[in-house]
Structure formats: structure tokens, C-alpha cells
Chain A
Amino acid sequence: MIVSRESVTAYIPHRAPFIMVDNLLHATQELFETDFFIESSNMLVEEGFFQASGLIENIAQTCALSFGYLGRQEGGEAKIGFIGAVSKLEVFELPPASTTIRTRVSPLHQLGNIYLVKGESFLEGRILLGCEMKIVVAE
């Protein structure tokens, strides 16, 4: 683990109850990886299941946390990113509350301050949701 859940707010602008990421497990230019324990009280849990909107937000916050971490590593400030667009969305399964999901994001292309990334979330090795996302990083 390279950033623990206690420290994520140093890297992302989100605040409780809208923090949808716990620990940063891996962050290189090629791959970001996080995990997230879904509390039953999470605002995006409905009828016992974490909704697709939550999984999408989890991917976006995985990007935010990773870009923030990498920005700090390069000696700068943690940069803030915004979701520009979501495409190629596929939802396979929604995870129940009180489980821990794992999320992997791969940056595919960069054009200036806009990144195209591919994100996937998993529960016990099963894919939950996949999508591409354009992230606009504030300069």
C-alpha cells in the first residue's frame, strides 16, 4: 500500500460522505490500483448493493488519487481532475455492501491535460464494471 485510507484526503478533493476509495495500492504511469470497502451506510448503496454510479465514481476517484500521488512524487502539487466523459460502459455485476472491491485503471492516451483511461472494478476476481473515461486535469 502506498497511500492508506487515512491519508487519501491529502490527495483528492473529495470529502466524507463522498469518498469512494480507500487505499492506493499501486500507481505508475501505466497502472493505478486501489481498493474500497463498501460500508452498508454508503450513500450509493441501494437495497444492499453498491450502485453502478458508485463504481464509476470509484474509478474516477482512483484516477484522482493516483494523479494526485504521482503529482506529489514529481515534486508538484496534487492535481485535481474532473470527469469529462464516460464511454464504453459495461456493468456485469453490482457488489453487495460490506465487501471490498479492487479497481484497476490504465491510462490509454493523453492529449494535453486530458487523459483517456480504461477502468475496471473487481470483486474476488470477478469483473463488476468496465468503462473508458476522459479525465480533465486542472492545470
Chain B
Amino acid sequence: MHANEVKMSWEEIVEETRDFLSTEFEVDRSEIIPENSLKDTLDLDSLDYVDLVVLIEENLNVKLTGEDFKEIVTFGDFYRLVRKKLAL
């Protein structure tokens, strides 16, 4: 489901995110929870963030910038930012 086709609920954002991140970064879904660190859980280096931006745009239809990532520490931060961007 794309965010521009149907407005996504919080639960849908969380589930969609867990699906594509667990597949692409080979991380167990159980580790993708709001209180966990995005960077540490996905073991991201600076180049991986570009892949993450592409995946987010493809799966959630949300464009994130480098500035956006300054606000994101946990998956919870990420979900809140996505919801905020979808509401704009």
C-alpha cells in the first residue's frame, strides 16, 4: 500500500516499516520496536542511509532529507516523523 493512495494509520506505518526493513536489512521483526535505536538495530553506516531513504520513498512514499535524520534516534521517532509528513 502506498501512502499517497490511502492515508496510513499509525499501525499500518509500523507494520509496513517492519516488513520492508526486516527484509532489506535482514533484521528480525521483533527488534524493530519503537524504543529501539534505528541506527544500531539496522547497523547503519553513512552509505546505508541512502538505501534507507530510497526504501522509505518506495514503500511509504515519504521523502526524507539529511536534516530529517537529525530528529530520528528510535523507530518511534521515525514513525512520528513519517506520520507528520503524511499529514502535511
Contact count band on B:
under 10
* Chain A residues close to B by CB (< 8 Å): 84-85, 108-109, 111-112, 114, 116, 134, 136
B33 at the interface (CB under 8 A from A): no
* Number of residue pairs spanning A and B whose beta carbons lie under 8 angstroms apart: 23
Chain B residues proximal to chain A, CB less than 8 Å: 46-47, 49-50, 53-54, 57, 65-66
Q: Determine the chain B residues whose CB is within 8 A of the CB of A114 once the complex forms.
A: 46-47, 49-50
Cα distance, A114 to B45, chains bound together (Å):
12
Query: CB-nearest residue of chain A relative to B68?
Result: A111
- In the complex, what's the smallest C-beta–C-beta distance from B54 to chain A, in angstroms? 6
Contacts of A111 in B (CB 8 A): 49-50, 53, 65-66
The 6 A-B residue pairs with the shortest CB-CB distance, nearest first, are A112-B66, A84-B47, A116-B50, A111-B50, A111-B66, A134-B47
